[in-house]
């Protein structure tokens, strides 16, 4: 349980993708200091910065600026500016009533998909990202869950955006396997969440099945792809490590009332998986 006296972290996730070219920037602050992380097809980099602060729609981390309108990157070996089109926020807070509980980690989705215009130069090579698609989310709290699966993808054959997460969530003296999954397609938003009665039927490194009322979501995953090792929060310190993959294969299927509503596949998904701690204490989800 998160207490006011415990150290905290706060981080944002700005993903920029055009085809198989992916650049995700993670500005943030923790008890261990301020930082900007960069994940791309060739790995990950961690930059310590003097400060990181948010004011209104703007986040300044060192010499970098991030906002709902775009970002300006000024890091050793990495320079550029990218403007964003209209954002696609959710219809409601993705945490629902759980935002009022003292959880170890709170999740927020700022935009499921938006257009990009601009470029980055990394180690002397220029990358034009104009015409690509972006995604923005935020996390805050004390630690990432001891077990979790996170998948995000907004490059399908049809305009569709997906964010899905399942995790072991400590609450009080116990814990539960919770989930929040969102699919935006054809002007509709499908939200499957624990606070709406969603149940995680299967969860592991290559699959996630979630049922809620008449809805059944099935994700089949193939994360055999490049990525990088990112720093992650543990008791307010950026001392843990998590592997995030770029361009993972994702097959998304959604049924409503037994009728198949969506069946889309992509090879441009983002993917993180932190396996459950082994031993009798853990009652993690089915692998």
Per residue in 47-82, pLDDT (tens digit) is 999 999 999 889 999 999 999 999 999 999 999 999
The rounded Cα 49 to chain-centroid distance in angstroms is 22
pLDDT digits (tens, 9 = 90+) for 168-185: 988 777 788 899 999 999
Residue 275 pLDDT > 70: yes
Tell me phi and psi for residue 135, to 5 degrees: -155, 140
How many percent of the chain have pLDDT more than 70? 94
Question: Which residues lie closer than 8 Å to 81 by C-beta, 6 or more apart?
Answer: 70, 71, 72, 73, 118, 119
Q: What is the pTM of this model?
A: 0.93
36-45, 101-110, 197-206, 248-257: least confident range: 101-110
Average pLDDT over residues 254-281: 88
pLDDT digits (tens, 9 = 90+) for 96-135: 888 887 788 999 999 999 999 999 999 999 999 999 999 9
Q: Which residue has the tokens 């290559």?
A: 206
Residue 224 pLDDT > 60: yes
Beta pairing class for 148-153 and 33-40: unpaired
What's the whole-number average pLDDT of the chain? Answer: 92
52-84 CB burial, b ≥16 within 10 A, e <16 = bebeeeebbbbebbbbbebbbbebeebebebbb
Question: Which residues lie closer than 8 Å to 190 by C-beta, 6 or more apart?
Answer: 181, 182, 183, 184, 215, 217, 254
Q: Are 40 and 245 in contact (CB under 8 A)?
A: no
- pLDDT category at 278 given cuts 50, 70, 90 is low
């Amino acid at each position: 349980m998160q207490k006011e006296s415990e150290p905290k972290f706060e981080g944002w996730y700005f993903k920029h993708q055009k085809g198989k070219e992916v650049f995700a920037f993670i500005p943030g602050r923790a008890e261990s200091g301020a930082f900007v992380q960069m994940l791309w097809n060739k790995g990950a980099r961690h930059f310590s910065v003097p400060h990181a602060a948010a004011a209104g729609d703007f986040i300044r981390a060192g010499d970098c600026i991030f906002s709902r309108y775009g970002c300006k990157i000024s890091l050793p070996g990495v320079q550029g500016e990218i403007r964003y089109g209209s954002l696609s926020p959710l219809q409601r807070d993705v945490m629902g009533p759980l935002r009022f509980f003292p959880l170890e980690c709170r999740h927020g989705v700022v935009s499921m998909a938006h257009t990009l215009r601009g470029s980055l130069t990394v180690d002397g090579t220029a990358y034009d990202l104009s015409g690509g698609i972006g995604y923005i989310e935020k996390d805050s709290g004390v630690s990432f869950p001891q077990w979790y699966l996170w998948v995000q993808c907004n490059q399908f054959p049809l305009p569709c955006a997906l964010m899905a997460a399942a995790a072991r969530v400590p609450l009080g003296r116990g814990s539960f396997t919770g989930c929040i999954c969102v699919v935006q397609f054809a002007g509709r938003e499908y939200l499957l969440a624990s606070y709406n009665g969603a149940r995680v039927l299967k969860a592991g490194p290559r699959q996630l099945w979630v049922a809620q009322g008449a809805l059944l979501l099935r994700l089949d995953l193939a994360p055999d792809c490049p990525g990088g090792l990112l720093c992650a929060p543990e008791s307010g310190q950026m001392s843990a490590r998590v592997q995030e993959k770029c361009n993972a294969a994702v097959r998304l299927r959604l049924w409503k009332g037994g009728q198949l509503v969506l069946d889309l596949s992509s090879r441009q998904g983002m993917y993180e998986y932190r396996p459950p701690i082994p031993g009798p204490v853990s009652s993690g989800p089915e692998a």
